[in-house]
Each structure stands twice: as structure tokens, then as C-alpha cells.
Amino acid sequence: MISPSLRPLLLGFLFVALAGSPPTLGAQAPSSGESAHAQTPRLVIGIMVDQMRYDYIYRYWDDYGDGGIRRLVNDGFSFDNARFDYMPTFTGPGHASVYTGTTPAVHGIIGNNWYVREEDRSTYVTEDPSVRTVGSDSDEGEMSPRWLLSSTITDELILHTNQRSRVVGVSIKDRGAILPAGHLGNAYWFDSSTATMVSSTFYMEELPDWAQAFNARDLPSRYLAQPWETLLPMEAYTASIEDDNPYEGLFPGQDRPVFPHDLPAYAEEGGNAILPYTPFADSYLFEFVRAAIEGEELGRDQFTDMVAVSFSAPDEIGHRYGPPSVEVQDTYLRFDRELAAFLSYLDEEFGMENVLVFLTSDHGGAHNPDYLESLNVPTGQFSSRPAAQALRERLEEIYGVDPVLHFSAPEIYLDREVIRSRGHRLSDVQEDAADLLLELEGVAGALPATALRNADFTEAIRRNVQRGYNAQRSGDVAWWLHPQWFSARRTFGTTHGSPYSYDTRAPLLWYGFGIPAGRTTAPVYISDIASTLANFLNIPYTSGNTGNPMNHHITP
């Protein structure tokens, strides 16, 4: 029996015998014939655009060029009804769900931060004090995927090829690089204290030569040496509201949120750490990905390699300025041009028939409540501190003790030892807390942990809440607000995290490797991506996989 890893080479030699031309090293795109199913791409590029709403594809369509997002849409396959099927819709859970093929209920990444009951403190999603920074003397590299309970599709690729496939995770944010790279790949992210790319001893003892050479180029200083001007004349930004408006935040030292943004002056105040808050952070990451492909010689042999890159600037800019801003539009127009150049690079280096690309997001984003209120659109702002105080007081009236350990959106942790020591049933306190929350203005729903563990919800919102609940890590009550309500006072920009469509609907585009042009509104979930990749790569599904492959839509 022929080993699957040798089939591409043997097919190449057969082609030589029949056609008299030299074999091409590496896996090839699918072709007709019995062995087409055994072919795999040389290189997989997973692109996540942090906070990219689905509507940004068409909101800015007329100003995109032909070689970037339009190329993916027109020549690739678009899933127009792709969604996140859990709450909360944050960066950590988003990246984990895409690459593990499951939801927080299984992979355990229930937020960017969460309360750890056993330690009576909050933790950050990738914090790991047992490892050290590689590439600088800061603590920015004390990170790893230690909280991630499932394998990732990148882990499975490396395991399947007996560690001969290489995986690189890249982002400005540590969590955007670490969670996709999984437990077996290598991850690199931006150290704001040094404005360089770093890693941790979880992955390596020192940066490879190519990464050190990249840092030596000092690209942040180059990008921040000029003002951020609009790419097009201001009058062309008809998809955005006026540049000078009261719904946007400021750079340090800035008095009005308007173009041009004087980046040299702001860098003088905030240092090169301001790079992630500019669209040039995307340019920086595209350069790093090219350096990684060349430095690691990715896609050059018969074993599929993978780059998982997450572009964080759209999220940072979206949080500061909000979806209808000129800044967000300009960011996507610039990203589109960088993407076009990168796709051309892949085509020249490998041929797109040998490269599989997917593009998606980790969550969406809501419109600013003050902006919506100005347009008479239903909205509101929920203040957590008085709500927590009111809940504590009501529960103390009922049970004679304040049982709340930790109150945050979207969950409440109760002091189970105190409750039991007073002779109360935990399930009763959970249900009462949920009922009391529903009396507060802005709260749309609340579910006790007993219901989340034992019920089977089919209604979309409650199902999303349930799939975001992890029995060991989540709180005793999960709660959520009405659509377009914010859980904190937000006078500028935006946020996300809800179970509603503006946060859960995401673009999902597949391109290259013989994928036909097309689109569908068939419902799919972000957690379906990993199993789809597994089928393309002929490798096992992830250990926690609950998603369903969508290959039947995109396999010719």
C-alpha cells in the first residue's frame, strides 16, 4: 500500500513518464481522476480580520480594488450566512472557535478574561507566568495556550505529518497569534513596549534569524513617521458619517478626532506602541507574514504548511471610532490594497491552485449607542456597578448573606461555600439571581447554570448562551442585554460581545486550490471551518470538534 505522504511525488513521477516534463515538488491542486481526493495544498493561509462585520464587504465595495476583497468574493466562494453560534463574541473565543472547530462550552476559552473561582481572581486568556518572553526583556511574552482544552486544526496538521508540517501564528495581539497556532505551532505577536515581534519560551528559546532580521528593520518608526491621511479625497467617503463627530475617541495629545491624524506627534507622546491603533499595523503584519513564509521556507515541500494571521488594527480602530467612521472605512480600503498585493505574491510564489485561503472574522461590532440614540434607534447603556449592588442587596434580604463573588458581563459567580454553609440550595440562589436580574432595565435574559447544564435550547439566543457556557469555568448565572444595549458607558467608538447578529454574523470567504466561484446563504457556523480544513488536508478533526464540514459547497 502506498503511503499517503508519497502519493504526490509518485504522481509527479508518473506525469514525467507520460508527459516527459519534470515533476513539481509539493502537493498539487485537485484534478480529475481517482486520486484527486488525496491531493492537498502546499500552503494554507488563514486570515482573520478582528471586528470585521459582514456588511463591510459591500458597504465599501465601490472603493475596493479588483485584486483584494473583490477577488476573493468574485473568484472564490462566499458563505453569506456564516455566524458565531455562542456568546460572548470576543477575540479570544472567536480565534479559539475557528481553529478548534467547537465553542467555548468545549474548548474552554469563555472570554478574553474570566474569573477563576479556585484562585479568587480574574485571568487573562493566554497568561502563563511559567514561561518567559523571547525577543525582549518585557513580560509581554509570558503567554501560552495553556487554557485551551481542545486541539486546534493546526495541532492536528502537525501531528498528522509527524511534525513535518510547519505552522506559524501571527498577530498584533498575543491571543490572536497563540490560539490559532495551538499547542504545536509557533506564535509571534507585537510587544508594545519595544515595538517588535516577540514569542515565548512555550514555543522557542530564541527568535529565529529571519524574525530578528525583521525586527531590525524597525518598520514601526517608518510607518509612524508620516501623518495618517485618507487614502481617497474626503468627499469620496460617502459610506461614512462626517469626520468631525461626537462619537469617536482621540489619540493621546489630540483634541479632535479628525484627519489628518498627526502620527509623528502622537508617537512622540505615546511611542511606537500606537502602531496597533493605525491601519499601518496591517501593513506591518503582511510584511511579517512574507518574512515568515520566506524565512521558514513554507510551502516548499510535500507537507502542507499553514500561516494563521489575525489583523488586529480594524478592532482597535473600530473600538475608538465606530462602524460608520471615516477611519474604519479608510482602514478597510488600505487593508484591501495590502491584501491584493499579498494575493499577488502568493500567486507568483506558489500559484493559487496550490494555496488554500480563507478569510473570516472573530466577531462583529455594534453601532455606538449615542449615535443610535441621535437617530431614534432603540438602544441603551447598562451600568454594572449599581446593578451589582442592587442584586447583592436583594439576595441578602432573601438569604441573609451576600452570596455574590463576582459580577460582570455576561455572568455572575456565587459563593457556593457560603450558600451551602447556610443550608441553602445552590440551584435556588441561581434561579433567584436570574429572576432578579430580569427586573433590571436593559436585561433581556438570564439563565441559571442548572438550566445551562441540563436543558436543550433550540431558540437561537439561548442556544448561543448555552454554547458559550463551560461547566468548569463559567459562572452561576449567564445574562444578556437587549439588542444594541451596552454593558458599560460608551461615549465613543464601539464594543461587542452580544449574541445578536451585528456581533455574530461574519464574512467567510474561501479562495484558491481549485475552489469554484460561488456563494450561498445556507447557514454555517464559524466552528465549521476547522473540520472543512481537515477534509481539505485529509487529516483528523480536532479533539473537541463539534462543527460540520462545508466542503460539499466548495469542492468542485
CA 315 – CA 66 distance, rounded (Å):
24
The grid coordinates of residue 39 equal: 491531493
The whole-angstrom distance between residue 456's C-alpha and the CA centroid of its chain comes to 27
CA 86 – CA 469 distance, rounded (Å):
9
The SS3 assignment for 505 reads strand
The answer to whether 382 and 443 are in contact (CB under 8 A) is yes
Helix (H) or strand (E) holding 154: helix 153-160
Q: Is 504 a known active-site residue?
A: no
Pairing mode of beta strands 485-486, 404-408? unpaired
CA 49 – CA 438 distance, rounded (Å):
35
Tell me the Ramachandran region of residue 516: left when phi exceeds 0, alpha when psi lies from -120 to 50, beta otherwise: beta
The SS3 assignment for 417 reads helix
Indicate which residue of 91, 126, 304, 504 is catalytic. Answer: 91
Distances (CA, A) of 226 to 252, 263, 271, 286: 16, 6, 14, 19
Is residue 23 packed enough to be buried (19+ CB in 10 Å), middle (13-18) or exposed (0-12)?
A: middle
Helix, strand, coil shares, percent, the chain, to 5? 40, 15, 45
The answer to whether 408 and 451 are in contact (CB under 8 A) is no
What is the DSSP secondary structure assignment for residue 482, as one 8-state letter? P
The whole-angstrom distance between residue 67's C-alpha and the CA centroid of its chain comes to 23
Polymer length in residues for the chain: 556
Strand partners, 305: 43
CA 169 – CA 187 distance, rounded (Å):
4
Q: How many CB atoms lie within 10 A of CB 441?
A: 11
End-to-end CA distance of the chain: 27
CA 116 – CA 125 distance, rounded (Å):
11
Rounding to the nearest 10 degrees, give the CA dihedral for residues 152, 356, 313, 281. 110
Which amino acid appears at position 323 of this protein? P
The catalytic site residues sit at: 91
